[in-house]
Structure 1
């Protein structure tokens, strides 16, 4: 019995380390980046490119929680972060190391893209806007979620193919479909945080339009996501990638509905965020089956 409890405790700790230490979300960023190349029928980037994306995400998220001092008192992730500041610091150092190792393998176009992404990210987090009370993009509800979705889309769609592919209709279809998908995931997290955001006077989109309307917006966006996938099939007539996107949309709808009733951090960080990895796996399988059947 004691051995069984020790094993369960070990797996629980390992799971919390992977999820709360932002290893999982870093893998999500890598998987979404790889998916872009598969969808556009481009070769994957080299290992150090994906090391850069993984390391940058690991650094960003761990830095955020390392300096974070207040959050929802019921947040399991925040409670874990308060106790494990040293782990956040370790992952920050590892993230910086990974970034430095991989930087020399990036191209000039990558550096220009990083400059654009960095400027948008700085405006999101730093008080640089010329307004009296709201000086950061994150202080504006709708602009906050659009910017967050845009940055993730730039990192996982534009950044991986900027040196490999022209900006054509196929690219834009992938770009806008990805942004809609990421917007849906971000909106689910904003819905979860409505009680805290409303209390603190943060006018996120769900606070402004109401939780019921926010869930309705998610449904409409998932329908738009599928519609763009159908359009994409007419541009690139491959039914299996379309099936992958439809399954991804249905799975995302189910997970968000489940999270609606089970608001634990693990449900969101593993389930909702996990839709990124699921979609990438579905696309990889669809491309593989298309190739072997052709």
Structure 2
């Protein structure tokens, strides 16, 4: 949905079905390997408890996703540089989970973990489609990319704050574990303001209703901030906060249908 939103707003033309199939398979692969490598330390997370009981399933899905990604990446092989960057970024995010000395060292220096995650989301859903479609990186494209990145980064900050204690126990450092609370709060709200501002700047390149649609998830995320800090429910985070990333594309699609 997010890739579709990028394609529609910027008018991109490239093999969309093949690319989306690759992204779907690669996401299944990276997500399951990431959590397969994550120890079950948070007793209050039903998702982590469930994952700890089904590690064989996570491994199987990871391997299945890897096979699917390898299958769909072949028709896109002429874009090997763009694809290679995505693989490196994804690997850098998961590498600190590996229990080997070179990767354990990354836990101490990978303070940009949250930045990496937001960057991967933005790169895969927005930058790489622009690159593959040979679309010029004009002012409107840059503004759209900044909107996508800062909104995603704000959401990632909430996830990192929730996982603050578990990251400290695992020895995983991030910018969020390093910064004091008031600085994290200022950074979070600054990201929301920039995300909303960039969406507004897309007018008149994008219709006013579309600009409003892009601002709605930013406002909802700001409204849910207090609840998210008090309630660490998996349902709130993985359906509510994660769902907000997809809300603008869904509203955009409904607007086109109506």
TM-score normalized by the length of structure 1: 0.76
SS in 2 for 1:34: helix
Match of 1:181 in 2: 151
Residues 153 and 179 in structure 1, CA contact (< 8 A), matched pair in contact too: yes
Residues 230 and 242 in structure 1, CA contact (< 8 A), matched pair in contact too: yes
In the alignment, structure 1 residue 82 sits paired with structure 2 residue 52: yes
Match of 1:149 in 2: 118
Decide which moves more: 218-227 or 205-214. Answer: 205-214
Residues 107 and 171 in structure 2, CA contact (< 8 A), matched pair in contact too: no
Residues 66 and 88 in structure 1, CA contact (< 8 A), matched pair in contact too: yes
Deviation at 1:71, TM superposition (A): 3.1
Distance 1:41 1:214 in 2: 36
Deviation at 1:40, TM superposition (A): 0.4
Residues 114 and 156 in structure 2, CA contact (< 8 A), matched pair in contact too: yes
Deviation at 1:59, TM superposition (A): 0.6
Deviation at 1:186, TM superposition (A): 0.9
Kindly report the root-mean-square deviation, in angstroms, between the aligned alpha carbons of the 2 structures. Answer: 2.6
Decide which moves more: 212-221 or 83-92. Answer: 212-221
TM-score normalized by the length of structure 2: 0.86
Alignment equivalent of 1:96, drawn from 33, 49, 66: 66
Match of 1:231 in 2: 201
Match of 2:242 in 1: 273
Match of 2:37 in 1: 67
Residues 34 and 44 in structure 1, CA contact (< 8 A), matched pair in contact too: no
Distance 1:60 1:202 in 2: 19
Match of 1:140 in 2: 110
TM alignment of 1:1-294, pairs within 5 A: 31-43=1-13, 45-109=15-79, 111-126=80-95, 135-136=105-106, 139-141=109-111, 143-164=112-133, 165-234=135-204, 236-286=205-255, 288=256
Deviation at 1:42, TM superposition (A): 2.6
Deviation at 1:201, TM superposition (A): 4.8
Provide structure 1 residue ranges, at least 5 long, that are not aligned to the other structure: 1-30
C-alpha distance 75-100 of structure 1, shift in aligned 2 (>3 A): same
Provide structure 2 residue ranges, at least 5 long, that are not aligned to the other structure: 97-101
Distance 1:138 1:274 in 2: 31
SS in 2 for 1:167: coil
C-alpha distance 82-133 of structure 1, shift in aligned 2 (>3 A): closer
Aligned residues: 252
Deviation at 1:53, TM superposition (A): 0.4
Distance 1:168 1:107 in 2: 26
Deviation at 1:44, TM superposition (A): 7.0
Match of 2:99 in 1: none
C-alpha distance 239-65 of structure 1, shift in aligned 2 (>3 A): same
Residues 39 and 283 in structure 1, CA contact (< 8 A), matched pair in contact too: no
